[in-house]
Amino acid sequence: MDLNYSEEEYAFEAKVKQFLKDKLPQRLSDKVKGNIRLTKADMEEWHSILNAEGWLATHWPVKYGGTGWTPVQMHIFEEACSAANAPRTVPFGLGMLGPVLIKYGTEEQREHYLPRILDGTDWWCQGYSEPGSGSDLASLKTRAVRDGDHYIVNGQKTWTTLGQHANWIFCLVRTDTECKPQEGISFLLIDMDTPGIEVRPIITLDGEHEVNEVFFDNVKVPVSNRVGEENKGWTYAKYLLTYERTNIAGVGASLNGLEHLKVIAREQQLDGKPLIEDPYFARRMAEVEIDLDAMKTTNLRVLAAVQGGGAPGAESSMLKIKGTVIRQEINDLTRRALGPYAMPYVHEALEEGYNEPPIGPEYANPVSSDYFNNRKLSIFGGSNEIQRNIISKMILGL
């Protein structure tokens, strides 16, 4: 693989930057740059702008409304969006369910659901995690019992990100208890307006409402809402998770975070000199920059495999581990660079329109929130310990 951009790729990069200059609302860019909370309307606005341009489903085939971009073009697009402080698209429909429907869904399911993901009619959330299951996803207990043309679903999901906004949820449910745990799971698409569903908020350490619990009490789901075969859902679940883990790597977000850290390190002083000149701090920044550069190459390899008709393989576990470690290291260095100014956390300061004077530098307030919130990165999507087991078995053959 030639890692140098061709003339066509430089032209594509210029086209993307011009698009972002013309179409990315300054208000949204300012909110992302200032770590101001994005509302549902904000996320839908950027989703709609990308869809109008035909640049929303970067990983989908053109046949289903995707861009047909090369891996390098996808990388260029992600990097440019992060540098311009564009909002990240919500991944559950676009980056997770979409690829599963394209590979395993029926043509009727593709024709019905994929356009609704693109035009924003449906907001999807993920029903994977359950209380007591931890990283052992196959131990899930939410039951779906066949009753004629329907399943009756009972159980509970947890850590359902942005579920308060969703009108659909894709769920793993147990449809057979008399077999190995992985062999009795099915993959259902469930309308959140179905009677018997209750969503309860979980308020996280930083005071945010990002995740939820979802309860199912005799929820009636048509059998036609099942993706693939009954009891074969584990196969589809694993396929989806490879896309989720690849997305979690967040190469563009880390590049942007590192550049922001350099700005802070040039402004903050240690013993009368810019912090960036401190040997210990400079060494840690150099280490994370080298790791990030290496991860960019791995990310391109995974994207190339997907474009060639494959799916992200065990390499997605490498991306997940390295990507989350890098982002957490950048969060930690940013917090350390600000010293005591990273400690005060004014929850209201992350609201649009807040105009009280900042405590310390203006960019200091969200630092603690980011640091604590991103502790989750090494846990969700399959903990980093689980990913190391996958690498040891599937890549190293141990």
Residues that are catalytic: 244
Q: Are strands 197-203 and 209-222 parallel, antiparallel or unpaired?
A: antiparallel
Q: Report the alpha-carbon distance of residue 200 to residue 202 in Å, rounded.
A: 7
Coil vs helix vs strand at 210: strand
Neighbours of 187 (CB within 10 A): 28
**Which residues lie across from 143 on neighbouring strands?**
154, 174
Instruction: Report CA dihedral (187, 192, 197, 198) to the nearest 10 degrees.
Output: 120
Q: What's the CA angle centered on 16, arms 12 and 20, to 5 degrees? A: 170
Give the contacts of 366 (CB within 8 A, at least 6 positions apart): 34, 35, 349, 350
Helix boundaries (H) for the chain? 7-23, 26-33, 40-53, 71-83, 91, 98-104, 107-118, 233-248, 251-267, 279-307, 315-338, 365-373, 384-394
Please answer whether residues 31 and 38 qualify as being in contact, where contact means their C-beta atoms are separated by less than 8 angstroms: yes
For the record, the structure tokens of 39 come out as 């509302």
CA torsion through residues 218, 219, 220, 226, sign? negative
For the record, the structure tokens of 223 come out as 């059998």
